[in-house]
Structure 1
Amino acid sequence: MIYPEKSGERLHDMLGLAQAFFEPLAELGSITPVGESDLPGDYLTLLAHSGHMTITLEAWHESLVNVHVEGEVREPDRYARHSLLSRQSDGRVVQSGIMRIDLTGLPAEVRRQIEVGETPLGRILIRAELLREVELLALWRIAAGPRLARELDLPQGTIVHGRSARILVEGRPAVELLEIVRP
């Protein structure tokens, strides 16, 4: 459930997450919180759910996706990265995403796979059969800044949409996400 009264708090949290990889934030774009009713149909299907984005994108595009790490920050028990997901079928980038993970409590092999950066996060967690729950926190309309536009191969200023989400692993908040998709 998205709580509109928390949109300012959610924007602050999302900008903090993005700022580690998009400096200045204008490289990402102009961001506005929106409700589900503000999303065009394709974006509604892709973003307004509590499932793993990896699975959703692969079903939507009828292709497995690959991950391409664009930047990362490593700390002893925390890991953050900015990555792109592209279709295996033709290489087209379909998501720009940022994740921040609390690695404490994750099995060693899961931690290793996450830090190697060769497999999308959703696929790693699903294959490990960890109890997980994806919480949709907020939806966003973004006028793509120069870097986001390049990543998604769109003209600068193109309106795209994204979401903030959190993944609970074994009942514990473990992952914060910003996922911006291209239908």
Structure 2
Amino acid sequence: MNIIQTHLEGCIVINPRIFNDDRGYFFESFNEKRFFDAIGREIHFVQDNQSFSTKGVLRGLHLQMGEHAQTKLVRVTRGEVLDVAVDLRKASPTYGQYHAVLLTETNNSQFLIPRGFAHGFVVLSDEAVFQYKCDNYYNKASEGGLYFADPDINIDWQLPAADLLVSDKDKELPFLKDAVDFGF
């Protein structure tokens, strides 16, 4: 596997070694030992999630706060999404900055997003299946998030705003400057 450290400390893009032949392809999507060796620390994943969405669906920017914070390892098994992590660690030199990664069914890349980040994605293909591992269980009372179109963060979602399909709940999330302390 090829590990690419982003400018946000702890956010890592993982590109698998893919073996292609006339029958198709094979790759190891997760191997705990190789994963730990590659990122330099152990993460115990306890929950896997999957979503299906159509073009323009934007989910985010979400996070779990406090003791329920989550590290996520995300990937796309069908389609194409732009995946985004926003640094919410107050002491970080990259606080309020984001990193975006194109995750597709053909590049098979994965994005590791540690605790202390908001996360979201937008579907760029007609349909997408998005999968992710979490190192902590979901807790409704610990939900948090940021408004996806916060001008201070200025994320380029790669689609016109009029084409984005955003839940009413996500449209009500706060701007970074108005957000509560997320506990990071």
Per residue, is there more helix in 1 or in 2?
A: 1
Q: For the pair shown, which has the larger CA radius of gyration, 1 or 2? A: 2
TM-score, normalising length: structure 1: 0.25
